[in-house]
Structure 1
């Protein structure tokens, strides 16, 4: 199992590297001001973190109310992820359109592109992280 310090390093590294790639990528691909994209990316990172915190509390409360337990099957995990992303999209879409001065449709396309980026990035980042910082082997007990 990973230590709290390792989890903190993982989280901070994920956010910082993701933000740098996203800021440079969007500013270059769409010829947008890097500072404007940077502010937006940091704000969205904060929004996503806060939304994640409250969403998970609400989701667990709903599960307890409707099922009486918190065990999440694969199907529930899929539903959990989809509802999280739709909630985040609902929150960020108007901000994205307003901040960049684009239509809601253009903002939706850009936002969906960011979702795809983060899905791929999370997969690659976690593979690389596990190679660079392997999970310490658990000590086995002798019975």
Structure 2
């Protein structure tokens, strides 16, 4: 599989699962109708999809220059922190606007999502690599 195909497949699978989990969570946590929560989840997912592609391209470019190959637990944690930290900064204003809350309240609300998504990102990437193999940058 080419690097482009791999990134697209990884991002689409990741975001599809994320929408399925986040929609009911947002609806319950913020007392929004499921339709509204779905649209917010889809908007956030669309933003995350672009960020996923960009971040993984940058991460793999960095990874290819490293002398130590493979994806150790430490490298996977760095990957998860970088992806989720960047996404949190990008999504806070979106959540604040959609939910009509302050940026601080959006940050606090985002902490719960970040906790879930940090572990989800690390676990998903590990499972994806086990099923589809490591990218060329990590071999």
Q: CA deviation at 1:73?
A: 2.5
Q: CA 1:123–1:64 in structure 2 vs 1: closer, same or farther (change >3 Å)?
A: closer
**Residue of structure 1 in register with 2:63 after alignment:** 63
Contact 1:60–1:70 under 8 Å retained in 2: no
Which 5+ residue runs of structure 1 have no aligned equivalent? 1-9, 126-134, 136-143
**Residue of structure 1 in register with 2:134 after alignment:** none
Q: Give the total of aligned pairs.
A: 119
Q: CA 1:97–1:80 in structure 2 vs 1: closer, same or farther (change >3 Å)?
A: same
Q: CA deviation at 1:89?
A: 0.8
In structure 1, how many angstroms separate the alpha carbons of the residues matched to 2:59 and 2:13?
27
TM-score by length of 2: 0.64
TM-score by length of 1: 0.63
RMSD between aligned residues:
3.5
In structure 2, how many angstroms separate the alpha carbons of the residues matched to 1:103 and 1:52?
26
Query: Considering only CA atoms, is the larger Rg found in Structure 1 or Structure 2?
Result: 1
Secondary structure of 1:32 counterpart: coil
In structure 2, how many angstroms separate the alpha carbons of the residues matched to 1:99 and 1:57?
29
